[in-house]
Amino acid sequence: MTPVIRPASHADLPGIFDIYDREVLHGTATFDTEVKTPEQRTAWLASHRPPRHPVLVADEGGFIAGWASLSKWSERCAYARAVEDSVYVHHDCRGRGIGTLLMRELIAQARADGVGVVLARIVEPNPASIRLHESFGYQTVGLMRRVGEKFGRILDVRLMDLHLD
Protein backbone atom coordinates (compact mmCIF):
# COMPACT_ATOMS: atom_id res chain seq x y z
CA MET A 1 0.00 0.00 0.00
CA THR A 2 1.31 3.44 -0.93
CA PRO A 3 0.90 5.77 2.03
CA VAL A 4 -0.82 9.13 1.81
CA ILE A 5 1.52 11.96 2.80
CA ARG A 6 -0.50 14.56 4.67
CA PRO A 7 -0.20 17.16 7.43
CA ALA A 8 -0.12 15.69 10.92
CA SER A 9 -2.95 16.26 13.35
CA HIS A 10 -3.26 15.84 17.10
CA ALA A 11 -4.80 12.40 16.49
CA ASP A 12 -1.51 11.30 14.85
CA LEU A 13 0.62 11.95 17.94
CA PRO A 14 0.43 8.36 19.28
CA GLY A 15 1.66 7.00 15.93
CA ILE A 16 4.36 9.64 15.58
CA PHE A 17 5.67 9.02 19.07
CA ASP A 18 5.43 5.23 18.75
CA ILE A 19 8.09 5.61 16.06
CA TYR A 20 10.09 8.30 17.84
CA ASP A 21 10.04 6.72 21.30
CA ARG A 22 11.60 3.53 19.93
CA GLU A 23 14.61 5.62 18.87
CA VAL A 24 14.63 7.50 22.17
CA LEU A 25 14.74 4.27 24.16
CA HIS A 26 16.71 1.95 21.87
CA GLY A 27 18.40 3.90 19.07
CA THR A 28 20.76 6.74 18.37
CA ALA A 29 18.86 8.57 15.62
CA THR A 30 17.93 11.10 18.30
CA PHE A 31 19.85 12.35 21.30
CA ASP A 32 16.65 12.57 23.34
CA THR A 33 16.92 10.10 26.21
CA GLU A 34 13.45 10.32 27.78
CA VAL A 35 10.04 9.93 26.17
CA LYS A 36 7.89 13.02 26.07
CA THR A 37 4.76 13.41 28.18
CA PRO A 38 1.40 13.83 26.42
CA GLU A 39 1.57 17.55 27.20
CA GLN A 40 5.07 17.83 25.72
CA ARG A 41 3.92 15.99 22.58
CA THR A 42 1.03 18.40 22.13
CA ALA A 43 3.34 21.39 22.64
CA TRP A 44 5.83 19.95 20.10
CA LEU A 45 3.14 19.67 17.44
CA ALA A 46 1.82 23.16 18.25
CA SER A 47 5.35 24.60 17.89
CA HIS A 48 5.46 23.44 14.26
CA ARG A 49 3.45 25.99 12.34
CA PRO A 50 3.02 25.42 8.61
CA PRO A 51 4.01 26.42 6.06
CA ARG A 52 7.56 27.06 7.35
CA HIS A 53 7.59 24.29 9.96
CA PRO A 54 5.25 21.47 8.88
CA VAL A 55 4.86 18.02 10.39
CA LEU A 56 3.86 15.38 7.84
CA VAL A 57 2.81 11.78 8.26
CA ALA A 58 2.83 8.78 5.95
CA ASP A 59 -0.65 7.38 6.56
CA GLU A 60 -1.44 3.80 5.54
CA GLY A 61 -5.15 3.52 6.27
CA GLY A 62 -4.81 5.02 9.74
CA PHE A 63 -1.43 3.45 10.54
CA ILE A 64 1.39 6.00 10.76
CA ALA A 65 4.22 4.40 8.77
CA GLY A 66 6.50 7.42 9.09
CA TRP A 67 6.68 11.10 9.83
CA ALA A 68 8.80 14.09 8.95
CA SER A 69 9.11 17.69 10.05
CA LEU A 70 10.88 20.95 9.43
CA SER A 71 11.92 22.76 12.59
CA LYS A 72 13.63 26.02 13.43
CA TRP A 73 17.39 25.70 13.06
CA SER A 74 17.87 28.34 15.74
CA GLU A 75 15.82 30.77 17.80
CA ARG A 76 18.09 33.60 16.58
CA CYS A 77 16.24 35.69 13.99
CA ALA A 78 19.06 35.82 11.43
CA TYR A 79 18.74 32.04 10.99
CA ALA A 80 15.09 32.28 9.89
CA ARG A 81 15.96 31.24 6.30
CA ALA A 82 17.28 27.88 7.56
CA VAL A 83 15.29 24.90 8.84
CA GLU A 84 16.26 21.46 10.13
CA ASP A 85 14.65 18.31 8.83
CA SER A 86 13.63 15.18 10.71
CA VAL A 87 12.52 11.99 8.95
CA TYR A 88 11.55 8.83 10.82
CA VAL A 89 10.09 5.61 9.42
CA HIS A 90 8.44 2.86 11.48
CA HIS A 91 10.89 -0.02 11.94
CA ASP A 92 8.52 -2.47 10.21
CA CYS A 93 8.18 -0.20 7.18
CA ARG A 94 11.81 0.62 6.36
CA GLY A 95 13.14 -0.04 2.87
CA ARG A 96 9.79 0.67 1.18
CA GLY A 97 10.47 4.23 0.01
CA ILE A 98 8.45 5.94 2.73
CA GLY A 99 11.37 8.16 3.73
CA THR A 100 11.70 9.22 0.09
CA LEU A 101 8.00 10.14 -0.13
CA LEU A 102 8.21 12.16 3.08
CA MET A 103 11.44 13.90 2.08
CA ARG A 104 10.07 14.79 -1.37
CA GLU A 105 7.05 16.51 0.18
CA LEU A 106 9.12 18.23 2.89
CA ILE A 107 11.44 19.74 0.29
CA ALA A 108 8.51 20.76 -1.93
CA GLN A 109 6.91 22.58 0.99
CA ALA A 110 10.22 24.21 1.95
CA ARG A 111 10.70 25.48 -1.62
CA ALA A 112 7.13 26.77 -1.80
CA ASP A 113 7.65 28.72 1.43
CA GLY A 114 10.94 30.27 0.31
CA VAL A 115 13.24 28.39 2.69
CA GLY A 116 16.87 29.05 1.78
CA VAL A 117 18.62 26.08 3.39
CA VAL A 118 17.49 22.76 4.85
CA LEU A 119 19.93 21.28 7.34
CA ALA A 120 20.21 17.76 8.70
CA ARG A 121 22.08 16.46 11.71
CA ILE A 122 22.63 12.72 11.33
CA VAL A 123 24.12 10.68 14.15
CA GLU A 124 26.85 8.38 12.84
CA PRO A 125 26.56 5.65 11.74
CA ASN A 126 23.28 5.95 9.82
CA PRO A 127 24.02 5.04 6.20
CA ALA A 128 20.33 4.84 5.23
CA SER A 129 19.69 8.42 6.31
CA ILE A 130 22.87 9.66 4.66
CA ARG A 131 21.89 7.95 1.37
CA LEU A 132 18.37 9.39 1.59
CA HIS A 133 19.69 12.91 2.06
CA GLU A 134 22.33 12.55 -0.65
CA SER A 135 19.67 11.31 -3.09
CA PHE A 136 17.96 14.70 -2.74
CA GLY A 137 21.17 16.66 -3.24
CA TYR A 138 22.22 17.26 0.36
CA GLN A 139 25.95 17.60 0.86
CA THR A 140 28.04 16.90 3.93
CA VAL A 141 29.41 20.16 5.29
CA GLY A 142 31.04 18.83 8.41
CA LEU A 143 31.41 16.20 11.07
CA MET A 144 30.90 17.21 14.67
CA ARG A 145 33.15 14.75 16.44
CA ARG A 146 32.31 13.18 19.78
CA VAL A 147 29.47 15.61 20.56
CA GLY A 148 26.97 13.12 21.98
CA GLU A 149 26.87 10.19 24.35
CA LYS A 150 24.12 7.60 24.44
CA PHE A 151 24.09 4.02 25.72
CA GLY A 152 27.70 4.40 26.83
CA ARG A 153 28.90 5.30 23.32
CA ILE A 154 30.51 8.59 22.27
CA LEU A 155 28.91 9.60 18.96
CA ASP A 156 29.69 11.86 16.02
CA VAL A 157 27.08 13.90 14.14
CA ARG A 158 27.25 14.56 10.41
CA LEU A 159 25.95 17.96 9.30
CA MET A 160 24.40 18.08 5.83
CA ASP A 161 22.74 20.90 3.93
CA LEU A 162 20.54 21.44 0.90
CA HIS A 163 20.47 24.90 -0.66
CA LEU A 164 17.11 25.77 -2.17
CA ASP A 165 17.92 29.30 -3.37
**Any idea what the CATH number is for the domain that residue 134 is in?**
3.40.630.30
CA angle 148, 153, 154 (to 5 degrees): 40
Q: Which of these, 33, 124, 138, 42, lies nearest to 85 by C-alpha position?
A: 138
Instruction: Please state, in angstroms and rounded to a whole number, the distance separating the CA atoms of residues 42 and 84.
Output: 20
Q: Which residues pair with 153 in a beta bridge?
A: 150
Asked if residue 159 has pLDDT above 90, the reply is yes
User: What's the domain count of the chain?
Assistant: 1
Span 20-55, pLDDT tens digits: 999 999 999 999 999 999 999 999 999 999 999 999
Domain that holds residue 139: 4-163
Q: What is the pTM of this model?
A: 0.95
Q: Which residues of 39-63 are buried (b: 16+ CB within 10 A; e: fewer)?
A: eebeebbeebeeebbbbbbbbbeee
